[in-house]
Amino acid sequence: MLVSMAKVHVIGHRSRLDQTLAVLHQLQVLHLIDVSDDATAPLPPLAVDEQHLQRIEDLRYLRARLGSLLALIAHPPTPPGETVEMTAEGLYRLREDLNELTPQVEQLVHRLDDLAHEQDILPRHVASLTKLLPLVPGLAELHGYGTAVLLVESRHAAVLGELNAQLMEKLSGNFEIISDHVDHNTVGAVLVFPRDHSDEVQAMLGREAISRVRLPKQYETMSFREAIAAMKRRLAELPAEIAATRNALDELVSPRANWTAAASYLEKHLDQLSAIRHLGATARTFVVSGWVPATAVHELRDVLATQVGEEVIVESAQIQNGEVPPVLMHNPAPARPFEFLVRLLALPRYGSIDPTLLMALFVPLFFGIMLGDVVYGAILLVLALAANHRLRNRPSALRDLSRVFILSASWAVAWGVVYGEYLGDLGHRALGLEPIWINREEALEPLLLFAIAIGATHITLGLLLGVRQALRTKRRHELVERLSLLLTLAALFTIAAIVADFLPRGLLTPAIAAIVTALVILMVLGGGMGVVMAPLELIGLVGNVLSYLRIAALGVASVYLARVANELGAAAPLGLGVLVATLFHALNLALGAFSPTVQALRLHYVEFFSKFYDEGGEAFRPFGTGAEIQPAAS
């Protein structure tokens, strides 16, 4: 459900402004409204001078510099625990510190990067050269000639022949190219050429299939043997050099343990300074205007009275016409993960219906009806429980999703028992397990009727909620439209019942009359386009109900794929059969986790929500949560 919001004005003496903002920042219950957008604000907007704006800019710049420096350091110094309060002098010192230390830190961090790169790349060069050395023992000590080490994929080895022909033409035979397989897939080649022709050779080597081994600059002029020896010496020196650089960086950074705390102070202070631009004030008084969850107004009043004093009061304000409070969803714990699925589409408008609880009920149910297999459901349940356990301390969309899957997989197990499916028909084949209700492989007709019944129920529920929503918002047009659709739906099912001999034929005329009446009402409501749109709307309604056939379709596809896995497994020898069946069941399980989720969501977003959902709410962003302060919608 959506939390009821109250509009409040926090009014106080100007001398208490900073303290009040600090408390509000810490409390995180007030969604700020820009006073210039609030017609009920008792004071005019605070005139912010140039100096204030300049200060915000300065602090933003300082925050950006400090942030980028902290990002450079892999392990920033540990903060002292709490956010420090920084004086003007502290900020000055921080600025000086940054001016002095940033170049040094950058230099050391870049040096560390270079050393790590060297440590990574040199063993590869040593390996390549060591492999190529036996190819050209005569070159091992050669000086004065340019050499290029090339690696070519075996399937492109013909490129070396072409290269040989081109070099023969350009260098008149004054070169040597020697090649051999260095491993199964790679041909290594060493090209020796006069240094004067270096540019021409480089141009020829820029071929797609040729990968040139480029040695670091300091090894380029050495012979192979010298280069290998020098690289090995360098590799031996590197760990000590890295440790020394790291120590130098630590020595530089460790005394600045307050940097992390300073960064968090800057965040908080900037939030408060930016908030000032949205307040109202006179020379002596200030007002902060905002939305608070109705249940938190007392807490806000008490905390301000205790921590700031009686000079600051909280007044409830009148909500003006056209003012829309922000939206905060609050649902029972089991349904809370589904809030993320609602937000995935769009937030509901304040005062409208929050469909989270309904999604928590229907999404897992639809998933279970579609997948409906005890073993698949159990596997997904174990995976979802493991994911949820792993993410238990990290609130995230993934954790919410794992909780959605826990419920969905549980329903899949339950419906698996109903359908008698254990890895498809394996339970029946091996253990003679029978369905409680229907066998999906054989009873297609009841399954289709069941899916349509679910659709009719779900759409009817959506339309009833739409009627309720229209009544609450006093939108007569929508009310009549939804009632007409309900009438059509009832008439259509009456006709279906008459055709199936469940109802007497005498009801046929009233049912048709009801559809015609609904059609005429919809045409009138539609105005000029009503003649075209009303029939389309009725067809769309039937399409919405038929769309629930996907529940049956996906189920049938899943059960047949499982059967194919079992048939193939049974046809092959035991070991191979188990392997093939496992692969097919794994594929079916992957599809079974993905498709029913997407289809269950689609049935909600497209078919169900379109009957009542009023989207477009603004999220509740309390002051102090780091969200950018925005003027409230008016």
Asked if 463 and 611 touch (Cβ cutoff 8 Å), the reply is: yes
Instruction: Judge whether 42 and 343 are in contact, CB under 8 Å.
Output: no
What residues between 308 and 367 interact with another protein by CB under 8 A?
A: 343-346
State in angstroms the smallest separation of the CB of 341 from another protein. 8
The nearer residue to another protein, 204 or 347, going by C-beta atoms, is 347
Q: Is 408 in the site for another protein (CB under 8 A)?
A: no
Q: Kindly tell me which of 20 and 599 has the beta carbon lying closer to another protein.
A: 599
CA angle 281, 285, 289 (to 5 degrees): 55
Cβ proximity to another protein: between 265 and 338 the closer is: 338
Angle at 69 between CA 67 and CA 70, to 5 degrees: 65
Select 219 or 548, whichever has its Cβ closest to another protein. 548
Please state the closest distance from residue 595 (CB atom) to another protein, in A.
10
Q: Which one of the spans 87-95, 203-211, 362-370, 597-605 is the region binding another protein (CB under 8 A)?
A: 597-605
Residues 431-450 contacting another protein, CB under 8 A: 444-445, 448
- According to CB under 8 A, which one of 244, 606, 626, 634 is a site residue for another protein? 606
Of 570 and 606, which has the nearer Cβ to another protein?
A: 606
Is 495 an interacting residue with respect to another protein (CB under 8 A)?
Answer: no
- Kindly tell me which residue out of 23, 599, 612, 613 binds another protein, with binding defined by CB under 8 A: 599
Asked if 412 touches another protein (CB under 8 A), the answer is no
- Report the distance separating Cα 8 and Cα 6, nearest Å: 6
- CB 56, min distance to another protein, A: 27
User: Is there a contact between 5 and 291 (Cβ–Cβ < 8 Å)?
Assistant: yes
The upper half-sphere exposure of residue 547, i.e. CA atoms within 13 Å in the direction of its Cβ, equals 20
Single residue of 251, 602, 616, 625 touching another protein by CB under 8 A: 602
Place of tokens 């897939």: 185
Among 145, 493, 560, 605, binds another protein (CB under 8 A): 605
Q: What is the enclosing helix (H) or strand (E) of 33? A: strand 31-33
DSSP string of 518-585?
HHHHHHHHTGGGHHHHHHHHHHHHHHHHHTTHHHHHHHHHHHHHHHHHHHHHHHS-HHHHHHHHHHHH
End-to-end distance of the chain based on CA atoms, in angstroms? 23
Min separation Cβ 397 and another protein, Å: 10
Q: In the window 518-577, what residues touch another protein (CB under 8 A)?
A: 543, 546-547, 549-550, 553
From residue 167 to residue 206, what is the string marking binding to another protein with x (rule CB under 8 A)? ----------------------------------------
**Dihedral (Cα; 50, 53, 58, 63), 10-degree rounding:** 180
Total residues at interface with another protein (CB under 8 A): 19
Name the region of 309 (left: φ>0; alpha: ψ -120 to 50; beta: rest): left
Three-state secondary structure readout of 175-208 = CEEEEEECCCCEEEEEEEEEHHHHHHHHHHHCCC
Q: Please, which residue, 467 or 552, has the CB nearer to another protein?
A: 552
CB 364, min distance to another protein, A: 18
Q: Identify the CA nearest to 559 among candidates 583, 590, 592, 582.
A: 592
Q: How far is CA 524 from the centre of its chain?
A: 44
Interface residue list for another protein (CB under 8 A): 343-346, 444-445, 448, 543, 546-547, 549-550, 553, 598-599, 601-602, 605-606
